[in-house]
Structure 1
Amino acid sequence: MRKFMLALAATVAFVGTAAAADPVRISVGSYNLNNLPFPVAKGLGLYEKEGLDVTVENFASGGSKTLQALVAGSTDIAVGFYDHTIQMQSQNKAVIAFVQLARNSGLVLAGGKSSTFDPMKPETIKGAKIGITSPGSSSDFFVRYYLQRHGLSADDVSLIGVGSGSAAVAALEQGKVDLLVNYDPAATFIEAKGVGKILIDARSDDGAKAIYGGIYPTSVLYATQSYIEDNPETVQKVTNATVKALEWMNSHSAEEIVEMLPKEFISGDHDTYVKAVENAKAIFSKDGRISDEDIKTPLAVLKSFNEKVAAAKIDLSKTYTNEFVDKVPAVAAN
């Protein structure tokens, strides 16, 4: 009997150990819709199904704060923008993207009711107060690249960090900024609420090509090279769940996607938010793969105004990997 009880105890201990969830800290750079596949995966319970215990931290001020957290070691994986991996390589830090969420920019430039900026006359942007999510963010890059392409500089405008979502829309509505560069849902809210008008739209492929000269990949999952090397099984589980979320999103309506989201992710009224998701659907990756051709566009943009990137010899092959996406089981989420 004693041997039986010892064996039983050992079996229970083994089962308990086997069932223990794998902890992982994931930080997200604001709840703009470029990052939508992450909360969809959360809402569908896909991370839990992979045996993960995910702790989430949201930086509403933008992706640059998420990057800081990753480099500082206070988070394991970041939901942020691909161009950060290029910046980090120019600073001799290895940060690797391993799942693509948004294959295109999703950014718009909107003008408030009193704005005098005319995109057909780029010089009319001089003196404008322009709202961006945060300094060093991709919305910041958007403005700087636009200015550079038209013979202007950041000294010709005032760049003001206003976050994203409803806070960003409020800044435009209250006249704290004249122009706003932001993502959905803010982009949709601006026109739905009659706050302003979208003047430049990079949500479509054609719009992105007009602004950047090509497709501009944005939201990805990235981690330090050391974390990926030390935790390949955890990274694979996160990748499995996220790619299944992308597959699920591709086969479901905007309404169904919103119904699956955690409540804290939804801002504004329900119908307008559904419309925002519908407007943003075209930017999402279908399979999580990172294109070696498309990532040349963020590099070109950064080189145009970022001195460290321009001076560095950037090896794009070291900024991303499709290794984990290639190993995702070919079974769509239910």
Structure 2
Amino acid sequence: MRKMQLCLIILLTVSLVFTGCGKSSTELQTVQVAEVTRSIFYAPQYVAVSEGFFAEEGLDVQITTAWGGDKTMTTLLSGGADIALVGSETSIYVYQQGTDDIVVNFAQLTQTDGTFLVARTPQPNFKWDDLKGSVFLGQRKGGMPQMVGEFVLKKHGIHPQQDLELIQNIDFGNIPNAFAGGTGEYVQLFEPQASIFEKEGIGHVIASFGAESGNIPYTSFMAKDSYIQKNKEVVQKFTNALYKAQKWVYEQPADVVAKSIAPFFEDTDLSLITSVVERYKAQQSYDTNPILDEAEWILLQDIIDEAGELQKRAEYSKLVDTSFAQKAMKK
């Protein structure tokens, strides 16, 4: 009897030991993501974290903010991040410079420009021709917001350098302060700054550059080709979680989405987050799926080319891989 009890104890102990050893197989795999900025414009990314979609796929996604496209790409290329969330044009710039390890876009997050035209005074009957002869506070030359801004202005028959007094010598972070201090009659701003100015009576949103420009791969998740080839399962899991988040954002009301991402914006009022989410959802700035299609890729390069920043066209098949997005959607 005692021998039987002893055997049972030994078996139980061995079982517990192996259970403890096997625990490591269920631990989450860390993925480092460098984002270009912290923005409500990227809501589905934060939803994938807060709602546990990444964790469900076995991933521990850690997000760091690089504050700038060049810094984000430097972080990715130097190995400081596995994946980057940045404008797709940066992958083209890397390709133009020549590299043995190209950067590949594998999942799209936003499909429109995220900026708005803000006027100093209310203009309920605004027409784009009203901008002619005005002082326009634009974004940094060569950056995607400015290139899209100029593309939209030209679309409406306005030559940015000839028909406007265009100001482009102010750092991105100081543009709102410059406008609040009296510089410019119009300014191109991201959210939530545009809504903050409306709330404070400093400015008034009168048009959306995103609605005017059409769908483009404005912000995408990308990685070095070498990383993707070695970590296809991780990239697939990441894309699966992102697609879940993209669907969830459009299935839920804006206030629910706002509560989900609020921990990423501790200094921003919840009602403001809600209004920004609602505005971006209304114009479908958040992509509804992770696929970056070829028509969007062509338009992106048309915009860059028109701005004089494109040295050579980058093949869609070379810098874009939709296989992970397609599998995520089938799943």
TM-score by length of 1: 0.81
Deviation, 1:174, is 2.8
Deviation, 1:6, is 5.5
Contact 2:137 2:188 in 1 (8 A): no
Is the alpha carbon distance of 1:91 and 1:178 closer, same or farther for their aligned partners in structure 2, counting shifts above 3 Å?
Answer: farther
Q: 1:162 aligns with which of 172, 197, 213?
A: 172
Percent identity over the alignment is: 22
* Cα distance in structure 2, aligned partners of 1:158 and 1:54: 39
Describe how 1:272-283 pairs up with structure 2 within 5 A.
272-281=272-281, 282-283=284-285
Deviation, 1:152, is 4.6
Q: 1:77 aligns with which of 80, 83, 87?
A: 83
* Cα distance in structure 1, aligned partners of 2:127 and 2:136: 12
Please identify which structure carries the higher helix content: 2
Could you tell me which runs of 5 or more consecutive residues in structure 2 were left unpaired when the two chains were aligned: 1-6
Q: 2:106 aligns with which of 94, 98, 102?
A: 98
Contact 2:111 2:215 in 1 (8 A): yes
Which secondary structure state, in structure 2, belongs to the residue aligned with residue 27 of structure 1?
A: strand
Deviation, 1:87, is 2.0
Deviation, 1:179, is 4.3
Residue of structure 2 in register with 1:227 after alignment: 227
Larger of the two Rg values belongs to structure: 2
Q: Does 1:287 align with 2:289?
A: yes
1:284-333 per-position Cα deviation (integer Å, ceiling 9, x unaligned): 222221121122111001112344x2x324212222111111222656xx
Q: What is the aligned residue count?
A: 313
Describe how 1:1-334 pairs up with structure 2 within 5 A.
4=11, 9-13=17-21, 15-59=22-66, 61-93=67-99, 94-112=102-120, 119-120=128-129, 124-125=133-134, 128-130=136-138, 132=139, 136-143=142-149, 145=151, 150-153=158-161, 157-159=166-168, 160-163=170-173, 169-175=176-182, 179-204=186-211, 207-208=212-213, 214-265=214-265, 267-281=267-281, 282-307=284-309, 309=310, 311-328=311-328
Contact 2:160 2:166 in 1 (8 A): no
Is the alpha carbon distance of 1:3 and 1:273 closer, same or farther for their aligned partners in structure 2, counting shifts above 3 Å?
Answer: closer
Deviation, 1:25, is 0.4
Is the alpha carbon distance of 1:58 and 1:325 closer, same or farther for their aligned partners in structure 2, counting shifts above 3 Å?
Answer: same
Contact 2:104 2:223 in 1 (8 A): yes
* Cα distance in structure 1, aligned partners of 2:147 and 2:59: 34
* Cα distance in structure 2, aligned partners of 1:298 and 1:246: 22
* Cα distance in structure 1, aligned partners of 2:224 and 2:255: 35
Structure 1 vs Structure 2 CA RMSD: 3.1
* Cα distance in structure 1, aligned partners of 2:93 and 2:161: 20
Which secondary structure state, in structure 1, belongs to the residue aligned with residue 187 of structure 2?
A: strand
What is the identity, as a one-letter code, of the residue corresponding to 2:203? G
Deviation, 1:112, is 3.8
Is the alpha carbon distance of 1:252 and 1:129 closer, same or farther for their aligned partners in structure 2, counting shifts above 3 Å?
Answer: closer
What is the identity, as a one-letter code, of the residue corresponding to 2:89? D
